Amino acid sequence: MPRERLAALGRTHCPLSRPEPRYGPGMAAERLRDQGLRIGEFEAGPRNSITDVEGVTVGHVTVRRDEPDPPGGRGVARTGVTAIVPGSLDGLVRTPIRAGTAVLNGAGELTGSIQIAEWGCIETPVYLTSTMAVGRIYDGAVAAAVASDPSVGTENFVIPVVGECDDGWLNDARTVQVEAQDVSRALGKAGKDVEEGAVGAGTGMICFGWKGGIGTASRVVGGAAVGVLALTNFGAPKQLRIDGVPVGRLLEQPPPGRETPAGSCIVVIATDAPLGGHSLTRLARRAGLGLGRTGSVGHHGSGEIFVALSTAQGPEAQDFDRNAFFAAAVDATEESVLNSLWAAEDVEGRAGRIIRALPREPVLELLRRERRIDAA
């Protein structure tokens, strides 16, 4: 194929095209909470999102293209980048914020996690992407940090935080489909409204055999917010549970597509309470309980890796209700996973493979039958 033709073939980054809503007017934009589902006892924040935490914004770049297989083209791209930004870049480099990490199963990567464990702080946004694209996004994160603060590389060094999940079932990972510049694009799009489902880093992800991706939720504890964003790419179909209901076993039709459960999940927890590194490490660990509620068993080949951070400045809180914060993190993690499933639409990827969205009406009927939501 001529090089000019290749250059014209979808090398731009475009929004994810979505089919018409499948279930009636306005329902595609709703979440399970809008149907009456309540996870836990704490109230959600106004957006029910990680961006309810003061200072946190989120930006996505979705990469979709359809080219011939390598070497004639770059293949089919169903991937992207998601940036969770806990403040201005120049402020993060000069004044890192407190953070902690935890691992449930370690078949994955979160760069910068060793420094977070050692120093109890984070100095860049958290970037999420495809497994084999970590290096390219790391390069872009360094470039973004240098552009925001001239001291980087001369007076200061920076170790970006990049997490990954494997989207290779739908996305042609032989060619790294994202660009380093996608980091600055994601940062430029960062805002308070967070799109969920098959978007950004979640474009090619699969959760419990259904289409997964990006999900987010929050809880209010006293005067503070605890927010979660999850990149979901884990679990076997029969293991899916929604508020304790074994939906995966009760659905009459199993999802077609990938049968292997491995794939990973990255969970980012943020709070505007002034918690220290040790407390944030403990908070991050609770994400594993939230995944367990949805049916995760931490499969051998799956990387469940968590990072928690605080946007608050000033002295660390010494006297606070740890149990309330732990419960909030567990509940918001569980709901984030469910939101990632509920928002996603069918996605066709490489080799004609299709991952279906979770069937909403059958799921709602099961939840009504088990009295998790009111009868229609």
DSSP string, 328-355: HHHHHHHHHHHHHHHH---EE-GGG-EE
Alpha helices in the chain (DSSP H): 3-8, 89-94, 113-119, 134-148, 181-189, 247-250, 277-285, 287-294, 322-343, 360-369
Q: Which pair of structure tokens corresponds to residue 157?
A: 């060094």
- Please choose, from the candidates 132, 16, 128, the residue with its C-alpha nearest in 3D space to the C-alpha of residue 64: 16
66 burial class (0-12, 13-18, 19+ CB within 10 angstroms)?
Answer: middle
Q: How many CB atoms neighbour CB 346 within 10 A?
A: 14
Q: What angle do CA 330, 336, 338 make, to 5 degrees?
A: 110
3-state SS class at 51? helix
Tokens coding 196: 């969920």
CA angle 319, 305, 81 (to 5 degrees): 110
CB 148 within 8 A of CB 89: yes
Cα angle at 212 between 350 and 257, to 5 degrees?
A: 45
- Residue 345's closest CA among 208, 199, 232? 199
* Active-site amino acid positions: 264, 302, 304
Judge contact between 206 and 212, C-beta under 8 A.
yes
Give the integer Cα–Cα distance in Å for 229 and 238: 24
Instruction: List 270's β-bridge partners, or say none.
Output: 227, 309
How far apart (Å, rounded) are the C-alpha atoms in residues 336 and 18? Answer: 21
Where do we find the tokens 């939230």?
290
Helix or strand run (H / E) with residue 78: strand 76-85
